[in-house]
Structure 1
Amino acid sequence: MARILIGFGFVLASMAMLGGCASGPTASSPKPAGPGQLSQVLSLEKQAAEDYQAHRDAQAAGDYGKLVKLVPDDPNYWYMLGNAYVRSGQPELAVRSYNQSIMRDPNNAHAWHNLGVIRLRQARAAFTSSARLARAGDSVQASSQRIANALTTINQVPKQTAPVEGPAIDDSSATPTTSPAAPTARAKEPVIITQPTKSP
């Protein structure tokens, strides 16, 4: 078994070096894979999945961060890193990770969805702030309020709609709070899809 792993590592290292010679050196070229790296990746992947499932989000982000350094071309590791960043309250780092995932797999609908949800939340927060900070009667106040209201309406989910399946990240800080007298007026946030994507 050890001989097979060493042979596999040698083949991977040779392919990586030949690929590097053909395309020239780049900053994000993966390091040659050795037999120890494969076991390190598998062990780290297991730990990352366990941390993520247990909602140890900072640890999961650290684990997936290490994985994308070891295997930078894997779009699923970047996607899961983005999810861990969302759950740990770091949306800008999540955006970068989702973009990296999309660069490696432009057909990753989950990464596109989560990127859109983050941008939608950020847009609504920006227009709400603009409307609040603008002087009364200023044209930007009316425009910003109109757009913020439209984005809030987009986020509302009718009661008869079936619940979204799968785990969702509840970003309560981005959800407007309501008074106890009007709990049904609360806008529903689009959900971040947190299920791992299937690698091709």
Structure 2
Amino acid sequence: MAKFLIPLLMLIFMQGCSSAPPPHKGNKDIMTIQAQAEQAYRRAMLDQAESLYLEVLNSVPNYAPAWFRLGNIYTRTGRQEAAIAAYQRCLELEPNNQKAWYNMSLVRLKQSTQLLQEASGRGDQKSAVHQQIEALLSELTQLQSATRGS
């Protein structure tokens, strides 16, 4: 949790130095909300964590760790497009965040697998393209199984 508070404090301080309007809540309130969001996230209370992270982002919109957590929440709740958008926002703010790159790639792998599963049931089942779809689907399925085990 401490690794999230230092960047949050820096963002709050920088926001106070800019000409932008002040945050909706006081700095202490934002830090409290961030801590509550983190606690809810760790307890897998994802609806509550999502609401709290969104509240933090309402006051500190460039807080990359909250975008990262939202990406994780959206991934875990099956909202893949929202997860991609949250990870992309995180990466705009922190381009070297390897966890965000990795997590976004896992979501894209899952999307690709779902697309290939849909394609597998369509068209000529004996065509060369169908065989390619099946082979790629098999490889992606194995890859996803390997990433779950690590």
**Which range is displaced more, 131-140 or 114-123?**
131-140
Shift of 1:62: 1.3
1:151-162 alignment runs, 5 A limit: 151-157=140-146
Q: Which residue matches 2:18?
A: 16
Q: Indicate how the Cα distance of structure 1 residues 145 and 110 shifts in structure 2: closer, same or farther if over 3 A, else same.
A: same
Q: Indicate how the Cα distance of structure 1 residues 58 and 117 shifts in structure 2: closer, same or farther if over 3 A, else same.
A: same
Does 2:37 align with 1:78?
Answer: no
8 A Cα contact 1:127 1:148, kept in partner: yes
Write out per-residue CA displacement over residues 94-141 of structure 1, whole angstroms, 9 at most, x where no aligned residue: 111000000000000010010000001111111121012223223432
1:55-134 alignment runs, 5 A limit: 55-134=44-123
TM-score scaled to structure 2, two decimals? 0.80
Q: Indicate how the Cα distance of structure 1 residues 10 and 109 shifts in structure 2: closer, same or farther if over 3 A, else same.
A: closer
Q: Which residue matches 1:24?
A: none
- Structure 2 unaligned runs (5+)? 1-11
Shift of 1:154: 2.1
TM-score scaled to structure 1, two decimals? 0.62
SS at match of 1:189: helix
SS at match of 1:68: helix
- When the two chains are superposed, the root-mean-square deviation of aligned CA atoms in Å is 2.4
- Structure 1 unaligned runs (5+)? 1-8, 21-30, 158-187, 192-200
Alpha-carbon separation, structure 1, partners of 2:102 and 2:143: 15
Q: State how many pairs are aligned.
A: 139
Shift of 1:10: 10
SS at match of 1:64: helix
Alpha-carbon separation, structure 2, partners of 1:118 and 1:10: 34
Give identity over the alignment, percent.
Answer: 23
From the CA coordinates, give the structure whose radius of gyration is larger.
1
8 A Cα contact 1:98 1:112, kept in partner: yes
Does 2:132 align with 1:143?
Answer: yes
Alpha-carbon separation, structure 2, partners of 1:152 and 1:46: 37
